[in-house]
Chains A and B, each alone.
Chain A
Amino acid sequence: GAVVSQHPSWVICKSGTSVKIECRSLDFQATTMFWYRQFPKQSLMLMATSNEGSKATYEQGVEKDKFLINHASLTLSTLTVTSAHPEDSSFYICSARERLAGWTDTQYFGPGTRLTVL
């Protein structure tokens, strides 16, 4: 159980185009999903937190107009990189948190999406 998928697993696009990445919780409902960015040989940096049915909360320094997040259902969140540029090339990972009885912060991670902007 607790499987999170991402689509696509990798994408190459031209500079100036927009790219959408999907994150799905396959066997549980995710009230909260998280988007991370990881540069080579570095740790994960939280970009934003999205709660189903409400606006995402972005971390300081993350451009909300460039990285559009939509969490339209309890199993799907999307990240759209608008007007992508080479510096946006990175590994994007989503995670989803399953709310159990009691309080737990276990997050289940997707396999990641490799974005390369030419």
Chain B
Amino acid sequence: EAQVTQNPRYLITVTGKKLTVTCSQNMNHEYMSWYRQDPGLGLRQIYYSMNVEVTDKGDVPEGYKVSRKEKRNFPLILESPSPNQTSLYFCASKDPRDRGYNEQFFGPGTRLTVL
């Protein structure tokens, strides 16, 4: 089944304790992206990657890092989490050649709470 997976789905942590949220897709998509979703603000892009070893900042990159060593994986790293990073995080991938729609396929989400 074609899908985007994220782990963990839920995480409660404390300020300053480094964490990684993994994202993996099995559709051989070149493009992957991370979003955070907060009430009243909608989804905002954190980082995106056009291909292996190519990453770029989105609209809200501060406090986050990413890496893209393999096409299928795009982990999100919070080196020193803070309470304002409490949010719902979504990973997404796309292949622009699919139907020309540039539709992004979203993972199930990771709900992160930083105390």
Do A and B actually bind?
no
Q: Give the interface of A toward B (CB within 8 A).
A: none
